[in-house]
Structure 1
Amino acid sequence: MFQIGEFSKLANVSIRSLRHYDKIGLLTPEKINTETNYRHYSAKQLQTINKIQKLKEIGLSLTVINKILSSGFDAKTIQSHFAIRELELQEELETIKQQSLLLESSLAVLKEDSAKWNYHITKKEIPERFVASVRNTIPSFASEGLLWERLYAEIIPQQVQFTKEPYSMAIFHDDTYREADVDVEVQAAVKTADYESRNGIFFKEAPAVTVASVIINGSYEQMTAVTETVAIWLENHNYQLNGPMFNIYHVSIATEPNPENWVTEACFPIKEENHEI
C-alpha cells in the first residue's frame, strides 16, 4: 500500500487531483484509515490512474472517463466515446482554421494605411416607405440569412412588386450588444402594403428617419473602423443616437459571392444632442 503522497509521486498526479477523483467516485483509495483518515492506494490502482490520465490527454471529460471505467473498459463503450471525441476534434480544427484566417485578415487590416479608412459620413433622410418585414431572435448576426430566406419564401409567391430603390435592410433592435440570440428585423421596400401578412411576415409603412450614413465598400470587417469614425463625427457635430442602427445592402452576398465587391450603407439614426441638464 502507498500513502497518498507516495502514490501521487508514482502516478505524477497531484494530491488535489487524487482527492477530487475520490470525491467524484473516479478513483477511490483501496483503504482509508478510519482513525487518521489517511488514504492508501494499491499498486494495481497505479494502472488505473495511468489510464485515467491517458484518457484525459485525449480530451475526454471526467464524466466520460468514469463511464468507461464503470464499463470495465468495454471495447464498444470506448469506441463510441472515441468516435464522439473525433467529431469534436474535427469541429475544433475547423474553428482553429477560421480563427487562423481571421488572424491573417485582421493583420492585413491593421497594416493598411489609415487613410484607407477615411470614411465619408453624410447626414440624410431615409424616406417613408412600404416594406415587407420579418423580425425574430436569431442565434447570431451570422444567421441573418435565415430571415431573408424566410421573407422571400413568403413574398415571392404573392408576386410582390419592389420599389425602384428596394432598401433591402437589416435593423438591429437590441439595446445593448449581444453575442447570441440577437433581435434582428429585415425589410425590403415594396410599392404597396396591400399584400397578405402571414407566417410572421408583415407589410407595413416604415417611417422616415434621419441618419448618419456611411458607404462601406468590401467586407463587414470594416465595421469596427466605421463605428469609431461615426462616434467621433457624432460628438463633433453635436448629434446623438436616436434608434437602432441598420444596414442597407446595395450589393450583398445574395447577388455577389466576392466580399470585396459588396456595397453596404451603414445607417445610424440621429437627433440633435440635448444640452439640458
Structure 2
Amino acid sequence: MFQIGEFSRLANVSIRSLRHYDKIGLLVPEKINIETNYRYYSAKQLQTINKIQKLKEIGLGLSVINEILSSGSDVKTIQSHFAIRELELQEELETITQQRLLLESSLAVLKENSAKWNYHIIKKEIPKRFVASVRDTIPTFASEGLLWERLYGEIIPQQAQFAKEPFSMAIFHDEVYRDADVDVEVQVSLKTAAYDSRNGVAFKEAPEVSVASVIINGSYEQMTAVTEAVAVWLENHEYQLNGPMFNIYHVSIATEPNPENWVTEACFPIKEENHEV
C-alpha cells in the first residue's frame, strides 16, 4: 500500500487531483486510516489512474470517464463515447480551420490596407444649399435604399431641378452607435426649395457646415480605418466633433454596381476644441 504522496509520485498525478477524484468517486483510496485520515492506494490502482489520465488526454470529461470505469470498461460504452468525442473533434477542427482562414484573410486585408489606404483629411466648408430630404428610423444601415426610393418617388413627379453640384448625402443622426433601428436622413441638393413637402419628404434650406473631409475610394469596409484616421487628425488639429457625421456619395451603388469604383466623401462636422473642458 502507498500513502497518497507516494502514489502521487508513482502515478505522476498531483495530490490535489487525487483528492478531487476521491471526492467525486472516480478513484477512492483502497484504505483510509480512521485515526489519522491517511489515504492509502494499492499498486492495482495505478492501472486505474493510468486509464483516467489516458482518457483525459483524448478530451473526455471526468463524468464520462467515471461512467466508463463504472461499466467495467465495457467495450460498447467506450465505443459510444469515443464516437461522440470523434464528432466533437471534427467540429473543433472545422472551427479551427475557419478561424485559420479568417486569420489569413484578415492578415491579407491588413497588409493591403497599409499599402492602399492612405487617407488625406482636409477641413472644408459645405455651403448652404436647398435640399429635398427624408428622415426616418430604418432597420439597419443596409436599409438606406428605402429612404432613397421614398425621396426620388416624390421629387421626380414634381420635376424638381437638381443643383449644379447635386450633393447626394446620408446623415446619421444617432448620438451613439446603433446597429439596428438607426436614425438616418438622406438629402439631394436642388436649385430651389419651392416644392410641396409631403409624404415625409421635406424641401428646405440646409445650413453651411464646417467638416473634416476624407475621400474614400472603394467599398465601405474602410470606414473603421477612416474613423481611426479622422480621430487622430481631430486631436492633432485641436478640433471637436460638432454634429452628426454624414456621407456624400460621388459615385455610389445607384450608378455603379462594382464597389471598387465607389467614391464616397466622409464628412465629420467640427468646431475648434474647447480647452476649458
Same fold (TM over 0.5): yes
Deviation at 1:165, TM superposition (A): 5.0
Counterpart in 2 of 1:268? Answer: 268
Offset of 1:90 from its aligned partner? 0.9
Counterpart in the other structure of 1:27: 26
- 1:52 and 2:55 matched: yes
* TM-score, length of structure 2 as denominator length: 0.60
C-alpha distance in structure 2 between counterparts of 1:124 and 1:152, whole Å: 27
Given that 2:119 and 2:226 are in contact with CA atoms closer than 8 Å, whether structure 1 keeps it comes out as: no
- Superposed CA deviations along residues 203-249 of structure 1, whole A, max 9, x for unmatched, are 88997665322112235665565345423432454421234545556
Name 1:200's counterpart in structure 2: none
Q: Secondary structure at the match of 1:117?
A: coil
Offset from partner CA, 1:60-81 (integer Å, 9 cap, x none): 6x4xx52464365454454345
The match for 2:239 is 239
- Cα 1:101–1:251 shift into 2, 3 Å: same
**Conserved 8 A contact 2:124-2:210:** yes
Instruction: Find the aligned partners of 2:148 and 2:29 in 1 and give their Cα distance.
Output: 71
Gaps of 5+ in 2: 72-76, 156-165, 189-195
Deviation at 1:256, TM superposition (A): 4.4
**Cα deviations by residue, 1:81-106 (Å, 9 ceiling, x for unpaired):** 54244223312320221112212332
- Equivalent pairs, count: 244
Matching residue's letter, 1:46: I
Contact 2:123 2:213 in 1 (8 A): yes
Q: 2 CA distance for matches of 1:188 and 1:130?
A: 7
Q: What pairs up with 1:198-209 in 2 under 5 angstroms?
A: none
| % identical aligned pairs | 38
- Kindly report which structure 2 residues correspond to 1:80-229, keeping only aligned pairs within 5 A, or say none: 80-110=84-114, 112=115, 117-125=118-126, 130-134=133-137, 147-149=141-143, 161=153, 165-168=167-170, 173-174=175-176, 182=179, 185=182, 187=184, 189=186, 194-195=198-199, 210-218=210-218, 222-223=222-223, 226-229=226-229
Normalised by the size of structure 1, how large is the TM-score?
Answer: 0.60
Q: One-letter code of the match for 1:87? A: E
**Contact 1:218-1:262 within 8 A present in 2 as well:** yes
Structure 2: how far apart are the matches of 1:194 and 1:40?
A: 89
Q: Which is greater in Rg?
A: 2
Render the CA deviation track for 1:28-75: whole Å, top value 9, x for unaligned. Answer: 43346354444445124224323332233xxx6x4xx52464365454
What secondary structure, in the 3-state scheme, does the structure 2 residue paired with 1:274 have?
A: coil
Instruction: Call closer, same or farther: CA 1:148–1:44 in 2, change over 3 Å.
Output: same
CA contact (8 A) 1:68 1:77 kept: no
User: Quick check: 1:130–1:193 contact (8 Å CA) kept in 2?
Assistant: no
